[in-house]
């Protein structure tokens, strides 16, 4: 048993729902108790879909348990087929139905429906949502993809985008543009937008573009093995990765690498003098492995940040994340426990967090600005505007999104110059994004949380360090957005040397010590 408040991932059947909802003409019959329909609202509210997810729940109740839940399942299957007439059916059990062992696959098989019925084995008590998407898509591809001749022109499939995917909608548009510029046609995009009948044509493509390893790697591997289709390893997030992706694709397709950079503004924006202040900003990166690794590379190589922490919540991809973290000289944080992430962030004391919705709130609590780079995300990260992460426009979007929460160069300069002015005083806060000291806001009831469940024990080595009045006054002169770090650095500097009183001298000695 493990006590949890936040979960980065839902149960694996939610992953299967993401595949089914992303597709057309596929229906999912889920053996599940009343209440599991809550997952529908992830799609209708967060992703703002105007259609119900194509999922039928058997809704068994306590009084059914002694009797015949298997009949209930069969009836639901038949009714769903009659009503929705899908091209294929996937069937499976949610966590509770897994315990009553009705075998949805076998039951559905025996109904003799005239369409393919694909049984999903999704172990709810050991695996999670991302396993669910990957496994479901793999089973669909395995069952439906038939041997077929390659298309006469060079073509590829785009694998991995699903329902409820972070920016999947716009990434597909951007990647299609990249391929189009090289004269490569897209055979099938799957799961998102594909019908089961489209999956039968997967084998006609010359190779596969794997956009999200979390959702499509098993299928890509199987297609490589069974249909001889190589798949791309580069994730085109950021300018450098986009160039590398174009090179990789060109080689795979046997065409010349071409990239239309007419709209690529990120490199110049990053090179322009106002971005100089970004140099060495310490960022902590956390998310799903694919987005976290891509973001860390962009942060270091294209934005000039210093990556002071890197991690992911999906253990399946821990190895490459660890390797990259080592390469960047930091220790990887591989965990699905947000309290551990919070501790790692607090210890790294970054100036910015690139993370998920959870890290956004951790940032709010700690007063650190944050930009969202990965699922899980909330409704505001399913924007109406075109907002990819991948390709040329994706690079532009990343620059704006990450820099926005920071205080930009000119603004920072002005704040320092005029910090005694009332508009720039501490109370005014650094900007409208994050970074505000919590509390004291008017309006809205304050949360009645008497104690912080995540509060660690009192710092062991919190010696009784005393600040001299003059040192304290000097500290107040440091801009408020770095003052916290200065205080912390000075105190640990003092503690390391057994100094109990901090003078102005100590303050500046510490500053020199930590200078970079």
Partner 1 sequence: MNDATPFGCQSAPVLRERGQHEVFCGLTGIVWLHRKMQDAFFLVVGSRTCAHLLQSAAGVMIFAEPRFGTAILEEGDLAGLKDANDELDREVARLLTRRPDIRQLFLVGSCPSEVIKLDLARAAERLTQVHAPHVRVLNYSGSGIETTFTQGEDACLAAMVPGLPSTDAANLLLVGALPDVVEDQARTLLAGLGIDHVQVLPGRRADQDPAVGPNTRYALLQPFLGDTAAALDGRGATRIAAPFPFGEEGTTAWLRAVAEAFGIDEATFARVTDAPRARARRAVAAAAETLAGKRITFLPDSQLELPLARFLSRECGMEPVEIGTPYLHAGLMGPELALLPQGARLSEGQDVDRQLDRVRADRPDLTVCGMGLANPLESEGLTTKWAIELVFTPVHFYEQAGDLAALFARPLRRKRILTDPAPLLLAENTPGVRGLAPASARE
| Closest CB 215 distance from partner 1, rounded Å | 18
C-alpha pair distances (Å), 48 with each of 51, 383, 472: 9, 10, 51
Q: Of 1 and 149, which CB lies nearer to partner 1 in the complex structure?
A: 1
| Closest CB 469 distance from partner 1, rounded Å | 35
Q: Residue 463 and residue 465: Cα distance in Å, rounded?
A: 6
Q: Which residue is associated with the tokens 């077929």?
A: 148
* Nearest-5° Cα angle at 306, 302 to 312: 90
Question: Maximum Cα–Cα distance for the chain, whole Å?
Answer: 84
Which SS3 state, helix, strand or coil, does residue 199 take? Answer: helix
Catalytic residue chosen out of the listed positions 40, 64, 103, 274: 274
- Give the strand pairing for 370-372 and 352-355: parallel
Q: Residue 127 and residue 168: Cα distance in Å, rounded?
A: 23
Q: Residue 320 and residue 234: Cα distance in Å, rounded?
A: 13
User: Which residues, in sequence order, are bridge partners of residue 206?
Assistant: none
Q: Which residue is associated with the tokens 């609202």?
A: 41
Q: Which residue is associated with the tokens 């699903």?
A: 162
| Closest CB 458 distance from partner 1, rounded Å | 13
| Closest CB 330 distance from partner 1, rounded Å | 26
Question: Token pair of 491, please?
Answer: 């105190």
Q: Of 51 and 516, which CB lies nearer to partner 1 in the complex structure?
A: 51
**Helix 391-403 × helix 168-181 angle, to 10°:** 140
Phi, psi of 45 (to 5 degrees): -100, -55
Is there a binding annotation on residue 410? yes
Is there a binding annotation on residue 132? no
Q: Which residue is associated with the tokens 């890197």?
A: 310
Q: Of 11 and 191, which CB lies nearer to partner 1 in the complex structure?
A: 11
Q: Of 58 and 133, which CB lies nearer to partner 1 in the complex structure?
A: 58
334 CB-near residues (< 8 Å, 6+ apart) = 311, 312, 313, 315, 318, 321, 322
| Closest CB 345 distance from partner 1, rounded Å | 15
C-alpha pair distances (Å), 488 with each of 173, 252, 281, 301, 494: 46, 51, 17, 28, 10
| Closest CB 439 distance from partner 1, rounded Å | 12
- The DSSP call for residue 511 is H
Is there a binding annotation on residue 36? yes
452 is catalytic: no
Q: Of 331 and 337, which CB lies nearer to partner 1 in the complex structure?
A: 337
429 torsion bin: left (phi>0), alpha (psi -120 to 50), beta (else): left
Q: Of 34 and 272, which CB lies nearer to partner 1 in the complex structure?
A: 34
| Closest CB 231 distance from partner 1, rounded Å | 30
Q: Of 254 and 450, which CB lies nearer to partner 1 in the complex structure?
A: 450
Q: Of 204 and 362, which CB lies nearer to partner 1 in the complex structure?
A: 362
Alpha carbon of residue 94 to chain centroid = 24
Q: Residue 191 and residue 161: Cα distance in Å, rounded?
A: 6
Q: Residue 382 and residue 175: Cα distance in Å, rounded?
A: 18
- The DSSP call for residue 36 is G
Site of interaction with partner 1 (CB under 8 A)? 1-7, 9-11, 13-14, 33-42, 44-45, 48-52, 56-62, 64-65, 76, 79, 83, 94-96, 99-100, 123-126, 128, 358, 361, 364, 378, 447-454
| Closest CB 40 distance from partner 1, rounded Å | 3
Give me the active site residues, please: 274
Residue ranges for the known binding site for [4Fe-4S] cluster are 36
Residue ranges for the known binding site for substrate are 409-410
């Amino acid at each position: 048993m493990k006590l949890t408040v936040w979960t980065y991932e839902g149960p694996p059947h939610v992953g299967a729902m993401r595949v089914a909802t992303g597709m057309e003409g596929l229906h999912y019959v889920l053996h599940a108790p009343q209440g599991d329909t809550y997952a529908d609202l992830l799609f209708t509210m967060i992703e703002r879909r105007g259609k119900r997810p194509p999922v039928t729940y058997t809704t068994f109740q306590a009084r059914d348990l002694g009797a015949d839940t298997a009949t209930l399942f069969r009836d639901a299957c038949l009714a769903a087929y009659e009503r929705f007439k899908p091209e294929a059916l996937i069937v499976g059990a949610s966590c509770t139905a897994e315990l009553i062992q009705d075998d949805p696959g076998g039951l559905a098989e025996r109904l003799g429906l005239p369409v393919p019925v694909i049984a999903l084995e999704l172990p709810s008590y050991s695996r999670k949502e991302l396993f669910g998407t990957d496994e479901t898509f793999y089973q669909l591809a395995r069952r439906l993809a038939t041997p077929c001749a390659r298309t006469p022109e060079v073509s590829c499939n785009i694998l991995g985008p699903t329902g409820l995917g972070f920016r999947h909608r716009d990434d597909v548009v951007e990647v299609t543009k990249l391929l189009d510029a090289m004269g490569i046609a897209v055979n099938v995009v799957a799961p998102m937008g594909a019908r089961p009948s489209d999956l039968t044509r997967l084998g006609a493509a010359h190779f596969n573009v794997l956009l999200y390893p979390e959702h499509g790697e098993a299928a890509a591997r199987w297609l490589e093995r069974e249909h001889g289709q190589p798949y791309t390893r580069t994730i085109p997030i950021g300018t450098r990765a986009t160039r590398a992706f174009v090179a990789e694709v060109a080689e795979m397709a046997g065409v010349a690498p071409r990239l239309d950079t007419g709209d690529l503004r990120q490199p110049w924006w990053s090179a322009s003098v106002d971005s100089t202040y970004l140099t060495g900003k310490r960022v902590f990166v956390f998310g799903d492995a694919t987005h976290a690794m891509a973001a860390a590379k962009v942060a270091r190589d294209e934005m000039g940040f210093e990556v002071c922490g890197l991690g992911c919540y999906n253990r399946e991809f821990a190895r490459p994340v660890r390797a990259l973290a080592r390469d960047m000289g930091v220790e990887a944080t591989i965990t699905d426990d947000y309290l551990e992430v919070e501790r790692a962030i607090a210890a790294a004391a970054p100036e910015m967090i690139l993370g998920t919705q959870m890290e956004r709130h951790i940032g709010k609590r700690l007063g650190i600005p944050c930009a969202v780079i990965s699922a899980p995300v909330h409704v505001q990260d399913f924007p109406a505007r075109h907002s990819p992460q991948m390709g040329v426009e994706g690079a532009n979007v990343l620059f704006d999104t990450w820099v926005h929460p920071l205080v930009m160069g000119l603004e920072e300069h002005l704040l320092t110059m005029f910090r005694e002015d009332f508009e720039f005083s501490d109370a005014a806060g650094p900007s409208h994004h994050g970074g505000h000291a919590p509390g004291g806001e008017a309006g809205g009831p304050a949360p009645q949380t008497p104690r912080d469940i995540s509060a660690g024990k009192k710092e062991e080595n919190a010696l009784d360090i005393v600040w001299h009045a003059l040192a304290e006054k000097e500290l107040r002169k440091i801009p408020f957005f770095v003052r916290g770090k200065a205080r912390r650095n000075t105190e640990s500097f003092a503690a390391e040397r057994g100094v109990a009183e901090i003078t102005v001298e100590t303050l500046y000695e510490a500053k020199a010590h930590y200078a970079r």
